[in-house]
Amino acid sequence: MRILPKRLKRGDTVGVIAPSSPPNLENLKKALPFLEELGLNVKMGSSVEAKHGYLAGTEEERLADFHAMFEDPEVAGIICAGGGYGAARFAEQIDFGMIKENPKVFWGYSDITFLHTAIGQFADLVTFHGPMLASDVGKDEFHERSGRMFGQLFAPFELHYDEGISTLTAIGRGVGQGELVGGNLSLLRSGIGTKFEINTKDKILLIEDTNEQPYEVDEILNQLRLARKFEGLAGIVIGDFKNSEPKKPDESLSLDQVFDHYFKDLGIPVVKGFKIGHCEPHFSVPLGAVAKLDTEEMTLTILPGVQ
């Protein structure tokens, strides 16, 4: 069992960091009232406004922010301002022992997937795949349901996803149970062959992505297949694949055909259609928590991510 971070409560302080690319500062400012409505105080990381090309500061600056928020006893949780690219560049320098000694809520997605995998495997901590401040919360299209998903940080309750939220389709049938792992497909691929390669055995794998055409999704899934990441899985949750339509439909397989090719004969439950990823609403989930995927009931149930 992984470590569950302590739940947040009104009056707590959350740290805001930018581990990847520079966030849109205007959107970030618009997002802060949402945190205030949750009863949270905000401590801004020192490199959030920094720019180093396409990065929110140098590796040293971003890593220092990351470590400082985990070490700070006044910070109860950490929420990422945005994604983009760059979190993996400082992954080797992370003090996972310190994180394990200071477990707290860590929330983000997209490029943050690399950190979710690393923290889960080297600090045994449950982390949260959910919308970020500048990338999502501060935008006009931020959905009420996406906002409600932050409630799981304040009380330990099971999450239940069924077809009342979105239409779900089973590619492979059955019932599977295991820790929920994964996130952004491109970032999962980028860990292959490194010490941060995702462990999928007996796990339920979540995948989502954005701006990847079917042939690009195909290429990534084939690499994961060759790396034997689909062997021994308990199930697969296919989240949102935004802007993934082929530019030349007459010369392309569909995304559904790609998923069928890789998943229909695995002999495990595989379900697509979840609103998890670069979408609105965005159903947030605790990575590392135990989940059950059931194609008879067509439900995904996830145990609480906080204590």
Q: What percent helix, strand, coil does the chain show, rounded to 5?
A: 30, 25, 45
The pLDDT score that the predictor gives to residue 59 is 96
State both tokens at 27: 């959107």
User: Which H helix or E strand runs over 14?
Assistant: strand 13-17
User: Which H helix or E strand runs over 61?
Assistant: helix 59-71
The pLDDT score that the predictor gives to residue 8 is 98
Specify whether domain 13-153 bears CATH 3.90.1150.10. no
Model pLDDT for residues 38-93, shown as the tens digit of each residue: 999 999 999 999 999 999 999 999 999 999 999 999 999 999 999 999 999 999 99
Radius of gyration (C-alpha) of the chain in whole angstroms? 18
Place of tokens 């795949």: 129
Q: What is the mean pLDDT of residues 116-123?
A: 98
Closest CA to 239 of 192, 216, 267, 271: 271
Q: Is the pLDDT of residue 102 over 90?
A: yes
Delimit the domains of the chain by residue range.
13-153, 159-302
Reported residue count of the chain is 307
Catalytic, 116? Answer no
Exposure string of 29-52, with b = 16+ CB inside 10 Å and e = fewer, is ebbbeebeebebeebebebbebeb
Whether the ω angle into residue 281 lies within 30 degrees of 0, i.e. cis, is yes
Catalytic residue among 47, 278, 282, 284: 278
Q: What is the mean pLDDT of residues 96-111?
A: 98
Catalytic, 278? Answer yes
Cα separation values, 70 from 14, 40, 118, Å: 10, 17, 15
Model pLDDT for residues 240-278, shown as the tens digit of each residue: 999 999 999 999 999 999 999 999 999 999 999 999 999
What's the start-to-end Cα distance of the chain, in Å?
Answer: 13
Catalytic residue among 208, 212, 282, 284: 208
Is 48:56 a contact under the CB 8 Å cutoff?
A: yes
Q: HSE (CB half, 13 Å, CA atoms) of 153?
A: 28
Q: Phi and psi (nearest 5°) for 151? A: -60, -25
Model pLDDT for residues 162-179, shown as the tens digit of each residue: 999 999 999 999 999 999
Percentage with pLDDT > 90 across the chain: 100
State both tokens at 262: 């890789």
Alpha-carbon gap, residue 7 to 84, rounded angstroms = 28
Model pLDDT for residues 188-230, shown as the tens digit of each residue: 999 999 999 999 999 999 999 999 999 999 999 999 999 999 9
Beta-carbon count within 10 A of 163 CB:
12
CB under 8 Å to 52, separation ≥6 — which residues? 58, 61
Catalytic residue among 20, 21, 110, 284: 110
Q: What is the mean pLDDT of residues 279-283?
A: 97
Is 98:71 a contact under the CB 8 Å cutoff?
A: yes
Place of tokens 């084939």: 222
1 — pLDDT class (breaks 50, 70, 90): confident
Topology of 159-302 in CATH? Answer: Glucose Oxidase; domain 1 (3.50.30)
